[in-house]
């Protein structure tokens, strides 16, 4: 892995993801913590708190190379393309969450091909309705201005904050993996 980091650079423009245990001493506002460490479906949690219409807006979905930290997390080679899906989850007209899913090519074979054709359906709805799904530990990051994911996540905001919190985890569908990054926009905490 060290050779990959040397070959592909330091990637200071990518978030630094940490386990909950590695966050000791890092202050996280109490209204953010339940969202970051929710083990169930984020879509369900949003639906419980959103009193307006919930909807998914697909920003992009195409084959590209994942960020280095994403490739390393998935255990795939950074030069291999994956299907990258970026969406905004809305409550009414207000964006609450930016989500970036990384689906390696091998994950989209066989009965899971449909995952590449979700359209405006939330991925979480599919994942959490499958009893065979397995999910590994959540990682969180303080995503700051200047980092690539920050600019993607905050692009619909008139006045972006200095940072936003995100979480990610790998899901396994019959030994096929996919990575889901979720970035919480400030409006989700104003409910």
Q: To the nearest whole number, what is the mean pLDDT of the chain?
A: 88
CA distance 182 to 165: 9
Predicted pLDDT at 10:
47
Reported as half-sphere exposure (CB side, CA atoms, 13 A), residue 95 has a value of: 20
The stretch 82-96 carries a mean pLDDT of: 96
Predicted pLDDT at 7:
52
How many folded domains does the chain comprise?
A: 1
Domain holding 125, by residue range, is 2-190
Q: How confident is the model at residue 166 (pLDDT cuts 50, 70, 90)?
A: very high
Whichever domain contains 182, its CATH number is: 3.40.1410.10
CA distance 42 to 79: 30
Predicted pLDDT at 24:
62
Position 6 pLDDT exceeds 70: no
């Amino acid at each position: 892995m060290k050779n990959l980091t040397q070959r592909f650079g330091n990637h200071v423009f990518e978030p630094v993801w940490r386990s909950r245990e590695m966050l000791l001493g890092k202050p996280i506002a109490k209204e953010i913590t339940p969202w970051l460490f929710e083990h169930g479906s984020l879509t369900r949690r949003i639906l419980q708190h959103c009193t307006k219409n919930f909807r998914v807006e697909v920003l992009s979905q195409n084959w590209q190379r994942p960020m280095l930290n994403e490739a390393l997390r998935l255990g795939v080679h950074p030069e291999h393309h994956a299907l990258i899906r970026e969406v905004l989850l809305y409550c009414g007209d207000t964006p609450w969450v930016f989500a970036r899913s990384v689906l390696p090519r091998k994950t989209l074979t066989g009965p899971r091909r449909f995952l590449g054709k979700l359209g405006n359906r939330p991925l979480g709805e599919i994942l959490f309705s499958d009893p065979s799904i397995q999910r590994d530990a959540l990682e969180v990051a303080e995503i700051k201005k200047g980092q690539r994911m920050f600019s993607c996540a905050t692009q619909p905001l008139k006045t972006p904050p200095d940072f936003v919190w995100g979480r990610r985890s790998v899901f396994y569908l019959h030994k096929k993996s996919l990575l889901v990054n979720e970035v919480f926009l400030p409006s989700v905490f104003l409910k």
